[in-house]
Structure 1
Amino acid sequence: MADNDPKTPQDLSDFAESLLKNLQERFQSMSDQLTHRMDDMGSNIEKLQKDVSDLMTQAGIENTDEVGH
């Protein structure tokens, strides 16, 4: 066994608590990053829809799908 292996029930409990806290922090960080990326993607899609609509207007093409609405 390695020197840092839990040797008592309290050591094991402390180790498990620390591990769970670490996992929770990592999960929250990943969740925050995913939410931020999804928000960015939504903004990019809205901008793309507006740009396509503007291009269609400039080209004289009627927008029957109401892009952006």
Structure 2
Amino acid sequence: MDVHDSEDPSKQSTADMTAFVQNLLQQMQTRFQTMSDSIITKIDDMGGRINELEQSRWE
């Protein structure tokens, strides 16, 4: 911690808030990436099932 931070609580408060917001944004990004990956996997699965149905229809 910088000497100036201990003298000025508002600087420490700002640093704490910045760290909190950065952490929150990182968590949100991770969750959105997980959701995106899950959606893409489900779409791929549905595409495979549709292809199987189309093939079985013409056999």
TM-score normalised according to structure 1 size: 0.67
Q: Which residue of 2 aligns with 1:19?
A: 24
Structure with more contact order per residue of length (Cα contacts < 8 Å, sep ≥ 6): 1
Aligned residues: 48
Q: Deviations over 1:30-55 (max 9, x none)?
A: 0000000000000000000001111x
Identity over aligned pairs, percent: 35
Unaligned runs of at least 5 residues, structure 1 = 1-6, 55-69
Q: Secondary structure of 1:8's partner? A: helix
Decide which structure has greater helix share. 2
Q: Which residue of 2 aligns with 1:29?
A: 34
1:26 maps to a residue whose letter is R
Unaligned runs of at least 5 residues, structure 2 = 1-11
Q: Which residues of 2 match residues 1-69 of structure 1 at below 5 A?
A: 8-54=13-59
Post-superposition, which runs of at least 4 consecutive aligned residues in structure 1 deviate over 6 A? none
